[in-house]
Amino acid sequence: MFFANLRKQMRWIIIVVVIAFIAGSVYLGVGSVGQQTAEAVVAVVNGRDIYYSQFQRSYLNNVQVYRQLFGPPQGTAAEELMYLSLRGLIDTELVYAAAAAANLPVADAEVDEALADLKAAFADEASFRDALRQSGLTERRLRELIREDLQVRKLEKQMRASAEFDESEYEDLDEQSVAALRQAAEDREVQTWLRRLWDEADIVIYDAQLRAHHLMREGRLEEAVEAYRQAMVDDPLNGYLHVSLGAVYEQMGRLDDAIAEYERAVQSYDMDGDLRIRLALAYLDAGRDEDAAATLREAGELLPWDAELQFSLAQLFTSMGLEEDAQRAMDRLAEIQQAFMPVAPSEEETGEGAGAEAAEADGEAEETEDQSN
């Protein structure tokens, strides 16, 4: 899976029809990341710079996918997506450096074949040349990129071949199940190898928010606290940093500090129902049930049109034994559903009413004629 994603990224770089997407998109950066210039350095991997321009392209690509699945990324989801975008770039740098160090031979004929496949993705030679011009690539540089990509493919093949897997242990399983188990073993081998590359590499993340997120994921919580505090200095208007810091405090068992950060986040984003739920859950963990109930009620009143929120509130109130509040949330949910239900057309709109009246009039006329006869 990792190498497959890597190849997709390389194809993203080479087949530059994505230029239209990047040029026509608005950068959706969140927090301090969005305030940097494209020429600034976001991270350094073994002495090689990763620029914000690279990071922004990666992030835009991931935002596009995320938006199609879940809608626009917001709050801590945006931070996670930004971090994964940067991590993907770091992974790429480490893997391509490892492939170069391995110096796996790639014949010119292999490069020629891969280049021909790429050209086939364009309508004609002129379109291909135009795409190269727009990307700032020359065909010589493109061939170098292809050679690097082929080296990575060969490295992948070596890595997967080194995975320990004994098919004889699964003789009672069907071929498809065995193939899935083999794939899982190979993926574990790749992840172990990649983890080793990270451990051996000299990696510096300059952006405070992304560095804090990385430290949090690594379990280096005290350092993560300091990094998030630096991120707040860099970007004091980003209230979601308080949510991230609060989550770190929760992991450290500092619940009062976590609650204080969540309260600050709610003050910054008063209409974010998810933040109020998060604060309420922290109140419950701290035994502050009345504060939790009050926070949930505020969320329900502020966002009466949010169906997902009202459903969550109904469940939470029920678990807290607050049946009246739970019923109020369910009533709001029913109102939302009713508002979005399709309205049946009236008889006048369908013509049934007019038709019925005409038929009735015809019947009355026939009856009058029969009486006169």
pLDDT tops 80 at residue 1:
no
CA 227/CA 215 separation, integer angstroms: 8
pLDDT of residue 167: 87
How many residues in total does the chain contain?
A: 373
pLDDT of residue 174: 92
Q: Helices 255-268 and 273-285: crossing angle, nearest 10°?
A: 160
For the segment 152-198, what is each residue's pLDDT rounded down to a tens digit?
889 988 888 999 989 889 988 999 999 999 999 999 998 999 999 99
Q: What is the pTM of this model?
A: 0.74
Q: Please give the angle made by the CA atoms of 165, 170 and 171, to the nearest 5 degrees.
A: 125
CA 311/CA 326 separation, integer angstroms: 9
For the segment 68-84, what is each residue's pLDDT rounded down to a tens digit?
888 888 888 999 999 99
pLDDT tops 90 at residue 118:
no
pLDDT tops 50 at residue 27:
no
DSSP 118: H
- Please tell me the total count of domains within the chain: 1
Percent of the chain with pLDDT over 70: 81
In a domain, 303, yes or no: no
In a domain, 149, yes or no: yes
In a domain, 121, yes or no: yes
Q: Which of the two residues, 45 and 365, has the higher pLDDT score?
A: 45
Q: Which of the two residues, 92 and 247, has the higher pLDDT score?
A: 247
CA 206/CA 219 separation, integer angstroms: 19
In a domain, 317, yes or no: no
What are the helix and strand counts (H, E) for the chain? 18, 3
Half-sphere exposure at residue 279, Cβ-oriented, CA atoms within 13 angstroms: 29
Tell me which residue of 4, 16, 324, 278 sits closest to 149, measured CA to CA. 4
* Mean pLDDT value of segment 9-28: 32
> Exposed/middle/buried for 323, CB within 10 Å: 0-12, 13-18, 19+?
exposed
Q: Are 295 and 279 in contact (CB under 8 A)?
A: yes
Q: Please give the angle made by the CA atoms of 329, 334 and 337, to the nearest 5 degrees.
A: 125
In a domain, 57, yes or no: yes
In a domain, 358, yes or no: no
DSSP 41: E
3-class DSSP state of 103: coil
Query: Residue 141 maps to which CATH number?
Result: 1.10.4030.10
In a domain, 321, yes or no: no
* Mean pLDDT value of segment 333-337: 92
For the segment 50-71, what is each residue's pLDDT rounded down to a tens digit?
999 999 988 998 998 899 888 8
Least confidently predicted of 97-106, 241-250, 252-261, 346-355: 346-355
pLDDT of residue 171: 87
Residue 178's domain comprises: 2-200
In a domain, 9, yes or no: yes
CA 259/CA 58 separation, integer angstroms: 34
